[in-house]
Amino acid sequence: MTRAFSTRPVDPALISQIVDLASRAPSAGKTQGWHAVIITSSDTAKFWDDTLAVEKRESFRWKQLLDAPVIALVFADPVSYVERYAEDDKAHTGLGASAEAWPTPYWTVDASFSAMTMLLAAEDVGLGALFFGVFNGEQQLRTRLCVPDALQLIGAIAIGWPLESDAKNTGASAHRARRSAEQIIHLNGW
């Protein structure tokens, strides 16, 4: 995860390429019920104005994160899944009745797959990327960007050219040992 970005702009064709690859992520019923609001140029400053109070920026540890030239907001669309599963080929599942009929909210799962694919695609073309939650100012952000209320905000992805100094910008979590496959796998049962 990149936390220090250059202010160098990112070619819109690269962003389109990243989103295009993310559109190929797994999707229940090929619903593809996710959207990306791509924020660029001076509008990234407005994103930070909505989500990170000016008085908190002085103590904000990742100051060069605010230099990312692209912020992608990933949204899941529950209604699209209900509508898709009300179609003839899926109606027998009963999932077209309502969002509450779904034991697992696949709109969240699928949009998360797409967000992960965007992260990997950005890295693949030499860009840096960071997924983070929007913990403050979401309603102000939604209002300013005219985002429909029914959409679920999965999170934000900062995208841009990483600074060389970013290797020094790791948090304490980066030094934790990675769990081994043996610690994760429960073969044939718990």
User: What letters, b where the CB count within 10 A reaches 16 and e where it falls short, cover 155-168?
Assistant: bbbbbbbbbeebee
Q: What CA–CA distance (Å, rounded) separates 142 from 154?
A: 13
Look up the pTM and report it: 0.91
Tens-binned pLDDT, residue by residue, of the chain (190 aa) = 999 999 999 999 999 999 999 999 999 999 999 999 999 999 999 999 999 999 999 999 999 999 999 999 999 999 999 999 999 999 999 999 999 999 999 999 999 999 999 999 999 999 999 999 999 999 999 999 999 999 999 999 999 999 986 555 566 777 889 999 999 999 999 9
Which residue is it, tokens 């202010």?
Answer: 7
CA 68-27-136 angle, 5° bins: 35
Q: What CA–CA distance (Å, rounded) separates 153 from 134?
A: 8
Q: Which strand ranges, in their side-by-side order, compose the sheet holding 128-132? A: 34-40, 70-76, 152-160, 128-132
Which residue is it, tokens 């791509």?
Answer: 38
Q: What CA–CA distance (Å, rounded) separates 154 from 131?
A: 10
AA letter at 43: D
Residue of 128, 167, 103 whose CA lies nearest to 2? 128
Beta-carbon neighbour count of residue 52 at 10 Å?
17
Q: What is the CA radius of gyration of the chain?
A: 19
Angle between helices 12-22 and 106-124 (to 10 degrees): 140
Decide if 35 contacts 75 (C-beta within 8 A): yes
